[in-house]
Structures are given as structure tokens and as C-alpha cells.
């Protein structure tokens, strides 16, 4: 026995202050969300509370899902190069994007069928975005109308994402509704000549609204809150296209137009007098063409890995696009962002703005609007801590020198700061 110190019986007066037993409480949303310290924690909660069809639609990607995995891996294979002995008591995440000031360099990407993930849907996400001072983008495949989103978040910045349908007149009717609702930025998605092979959705036989059959009812047993909300709130439907009875994959193939070209982009530019952002850029050449045809911004995106199984990683593409386009237009980026540090890395390497999709949907599934706010709180906290650790006080001070590609992936291309 160790005799280097004297033992004694525990004394109650010394032990009592260490005993901290809280009063038992019933489970609730706030308590559940407070335990989530990362976006990955929110994903765990979301999976427990959401049927497999909606969860897999959010969580999955095309075919082997390699594109999504590589996009996330790209951020993990970077390291920061901090400055030390800098005064970082007061820092700011504010940024200027498309002529507007936002509280953080991240916006809410357009996601389809959002009320399928949680009954509060798009309105909850728009309200959370308004609260945090960042933009929300409603999808053409949304389950809430643009008018209702603006009503839910009247003081927020609400953008609209357009899929150009085969029916051009119907597409422009949506654009005109968005304009009438005060939308100033139209985001045109261009990487969908055909729907990607999203195997999880096919295996689940996913429909909107979810079909009630033996499989879905069995899956619902441990997720009663989702089903109670589903059965006691207005029916989930495509606001832009009602009465669709097929699967999601069939709908996408019906809607998306494989004949769309840069002439259509030119035509949309002539029809829309607000800001125009083109989403789904995957090559330097196409980025240049978008600038030539009048885009105000592009989003380097592989659709969250949901289209091609071997699509370029936006973060890897960023440096080349930035070098070629310089300030011809704004360069935005999405796909794979799961941490505030991912956002800082993208900004340091030249992005003007970033978007999250799954990250906030995990929060929505975990706890409605409060869950989305929890996701944004986590990301904001990570960014604030990260920017201080980098030794800078504002987003504008982030430079390529603050990021280095790890040697394992050095052969994929030289990033600034890599020697």
C-alpha cells in the first residue's frame, strides 16, 4: 500500500458540497437539445426521432455516397496555421454578401420537402435564420409557400431557389411570386439534368407525403412525436406542384429539364432584375461562363453529393476558381460543412459565403425551430472560438496563409500556404 500520504475517513462536511443531485425532471425538447454539443450530436438525436424515410432522404447521397464522404473529408484534411499574441478580445463574424450585411458568413441552403423532416418545416428554419441574422433560401420543392415563409419571418432575408422546369411559364410564375414577396436574390440550380441515383430513397420507396404501410407503421412505433405531428397537422404537399402521387425520384425526373443550356441562363438574367446566383458549379470553365452571362454570384456545389457519385469536391475547386475569377463575381460554397471551423477554412481559402443544409436539418429533426437554433448556436460558437484561436478579429482578416492542406492530400493540388 502507498504510504506517501495519510488516509482518513471521509468527513461529511467536506463531502456534502461535492454532492450535486438535481431535481428529477421529465424529458423535454430544451433538455434534449442542450446535450447536443456538435452537429454530429444533433444527427444522433435526429435519427432516434425521425422515421427512416425522411431521415435517410436528408442523410443520404448518390450511389455509394463517396462524393459526400470526400467533401467532408476535405475539411478534416486541412489544418489551421494560427497567429499568436494577437489581441482577440473583440471579434466579429459579420460579412457583406450581395450588398447585404449578415451576422455570420453562412446561410441556409435550399432543401426540398422540409416539412417531411419536421412538421414545423421551412417556416421554422426561416424564423431561426431571421433570429441569427442570416439568409434563408426556400426551395422550389418546398412544402411551404414563399408567401407563408415571408409571413413567418417578415424581418428576415428570404431568398428563393429555382429549378428550371420543362414548363418555362410555370417556372417564371414561381419567380414572379418570389419577386412580389420581396425576394432580392434568385438562386438558379443547374446541376440537375436528371435526378441522381439516391439509393436509400429507392430502397425506402420514399414518397411525399410518406406512405402509410406496414413498413412505415412499424418504423413509427419508436418515433411517436413525428407521427403525431404528421397526422395532426396540414397534409405535406409540394406547394409548387400539388397532387403528385409518385415517388420522389419519379417527381424529380419529371420536373428537371435536360435541355437547359446557357441560353436559358441568359434568358433568366434578362427576366430577373434582382441578384442572380447560379448553384451547382463544378468546373472553372463553367464559373467563367456564369460570370460572362451576368451572374452576381456562383455556388460551388455538388448538390451535397446527391447527384454524381464522383463529383468534384467544392473546397478543392475553390482555389482555382478564386484565382481565375478574382472579383468578377462572388464565390459561394456548400457541401460537407459540419463544423464552424469548416466555414472559417472555406472563407480563408477565398469563399465569400457558405451554406449549410444537412447541418440545420439534423437540428430541425432533433427539435423543430429550437433544434435549428441549436445548430446555429453550435456553429457560431465554433466560429467565434476558431477565429480567436487563429489570431484574427474579423472574417475579412482570414487569408489562405491561415490554412494548410495536410501532406496526405498534397498530391491533389497545391493550396496557398502549402510548400
Q: Report whether pLDDT(239) > 90.
A: no
Residue 249 falls within a domain, yes or no? yes
For residue range 88-142, what is the model confidence (pLDDT) as tens digits? 999 999 999 999 999 999 999 999 889 999 999 999 999 999 999 999 999 998 9
Residue ranges making up the domain that contains 73: 40-412
Of 240, 281, 277, nearest to 137 by C-alpha is 277
pLDDT at 346 over 80: yes
pLDDT (tens digit per residue) in 328-344: 899 999 999 999 999 99
pLDDT in tens, 128-158: 999 999 999 999 989 999 999 999 999 999 9
- For the cut 60, the answer to whether the pLDDT of residue 416 exceeds it is no
Count: domains in the chain? 1
What value does the mean pLDDT take over residues 171-191?
94
CATH number at residue 379: 3.20.20.70
The single residue of 118, 303, 332, 339 carrying the catalytic annotation is: 303
Query: Per-residue pLDDT averaged across 233-240, rounded?
Result: 78
Q: How confident is the model at residue 40 (pLDDT cuts 50, 70, 90)?
A: very high
Residue in 143, 198, 126 with CA at minimum distance from that of residue 360: 126
Q: Is residue 417 part of a domain?
A: no
pLDDT digits (tens, 9 = 90+) for 309-325: 999 999 999 999 999 99
What average pLDDT score do residues 46-64 get? 93
Query: Long-range contact list for 243-252, CB < 8 A, 24+ apart?
Result: 244/208, 245/207, 246/207, 247/201, 247/202, 247/205, 247/206, 247/207, 248/57, 248/113, 248/201, 248/206, 248/207, 248/208, 249/195, 249/198, 249/201, 249/202, 249/206, 251/208, 252/192, 252/195
Considering the domain boundaries, does residue 2 fall inside one? no
Residue 259 sits at the vertex; the CA angle it makes with 269 and 61, to the nearest 5 degrees, is: 95
The answer to the question of residue 187 being in a domain is yes
Q: What is the pLDDT of residue 12?
A: 76
Judge whether 418 lies within some domain. Answer: no
Query: Is 23 inside any structural domain?
Result: no
27 occurs within a structural domain: no
Q: Inform me whether the pLDDT recorded for 25 exceeds 80.
A: no
Binned at pLDDT 50, 70 and 90, residue 11 comes out as confident
User: Is 402 designated active site?
Assistant: no
Q: 358-409: per-residue pLDDT in tens?
A: 999 999 999 999 999 999 999 999 999 999 999 999 999 999 999 998 876 4
Q: So what's the pLDDT on residue 167?
A: 80
Amino acid at each position: 500500500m502507498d504510504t506517501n500520504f495519510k488516509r482518513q475517513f471521509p468527513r461529511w462536511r467536506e463531502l456534502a458540497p461535492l454532492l450535486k443531485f438535481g431535481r428529477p425532471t421529465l424529458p423535454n425538447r430544451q433538455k434534449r437539445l442542450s446535450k447536443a454539443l456538435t452537429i454530429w450530436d444533433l444527427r444522433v438525436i435526429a435519427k432516434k426521432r425521425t422515421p427512416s424515410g425522411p431521415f435517410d432522404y436528408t442523410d443520404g447521397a448518390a450511389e455509394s455516397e463517396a462524393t459526400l464522404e470526400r467533401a467532408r473529408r476535405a475539411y478534416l484534411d486541412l489544418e489551421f496555421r494560427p497567429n499568436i499574441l494577437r489581441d482577440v478580445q473583440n471579434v466579429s463574424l459579420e460579412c457583406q454578401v450581395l450588398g447585404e450585411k449578415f451576422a455570420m458568413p453562412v446561410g441556409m441552403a435550399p432543401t426540398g420537402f422540409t416539412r417531411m423532416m419536421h412538421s414545423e418545416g421551412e417556416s421554422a428554419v426561416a424564423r431561426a435564420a431571421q433570429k441569427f441574422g442570416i439568409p434563408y433560401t426556400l426551395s422550389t420543392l418546398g412544402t411551404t409557400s414563399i408567401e407563408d415563409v415571408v409571413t413567418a419571418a417578415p424581418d428576415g432575408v428570404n431568398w428563393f431557389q429555382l429549378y428550371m422546369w420543362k414548363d418555362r411559364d410555370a417556372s417564371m410564375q414561381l419567380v414572379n411570386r418570389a419577386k412580389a414577396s420581396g425576394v432580392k436574390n434568385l438562386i438558379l440550380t443547374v446541376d440537375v439534368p436528371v435526378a441522381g441515383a439516391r439509393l436509400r430513397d429507392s430502397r425506402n420507396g420514399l414518397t411525399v407525403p410518406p406512405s402509410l404501410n406496414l413498413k412505415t407503421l412499424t418504423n413509427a412505433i419508436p418515433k411517436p412525436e413525428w407521427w403525431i405531428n404528421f397526422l395532426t397537422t396540414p397534409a405535406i404537399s409540394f406547394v409548387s406542384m400539388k397532387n403528385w402521387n409518385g415517388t420522389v425520384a419519379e417527381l424529380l425526373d419529371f420536373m428537371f429539364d435536360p435541355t437547359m443550356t446557357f441560353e436559358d441562363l441568359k434568358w433568366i438574367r434578362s427576366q430577373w432584375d434582382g441578384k442572380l446566383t447560379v448553384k451547382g458549379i463544378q468546373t472553372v470553365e463553367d464559373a467563367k461562363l456564369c460570370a460572362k452571362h451576368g451572374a452576381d454570384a456562383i455556388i460551388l456545389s455538388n448538390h451535397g453529393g446527391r447527384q454524381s457519385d464522383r463529383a468534384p469536391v467544392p473546397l478543392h475547386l475553390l482555389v482555382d476558381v478564386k484565382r481565375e475569377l478574382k472579383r468578377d463575381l462572388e464565390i459561394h460554397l456548400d457541401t460537407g460543412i459540419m463544423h464552424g471551423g469548416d466555414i472559417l477554412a472555406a472563407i480563408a481559402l477565398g469563399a465569400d459565403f457558405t451554406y449549410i443544409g444537412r447541418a440545420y436539418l439534423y437540428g430541425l429533426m432533433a427539435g423543430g425551430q429550437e433544434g435549428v437554433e441549436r445548430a446555429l448556436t453550435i456553429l457560431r460558437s465554433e466560429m467565434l472560438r476558431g477565429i480567436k484561436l487563429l489570431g484574427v478579429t474579423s472574417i475579412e482578416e482570414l487569408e489562405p496563409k491561415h490554412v494548410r492542406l495536410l501532406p496526405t492530400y498534397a498530391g491533389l493540388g497545391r493550396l496557398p500556404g502549402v510548400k
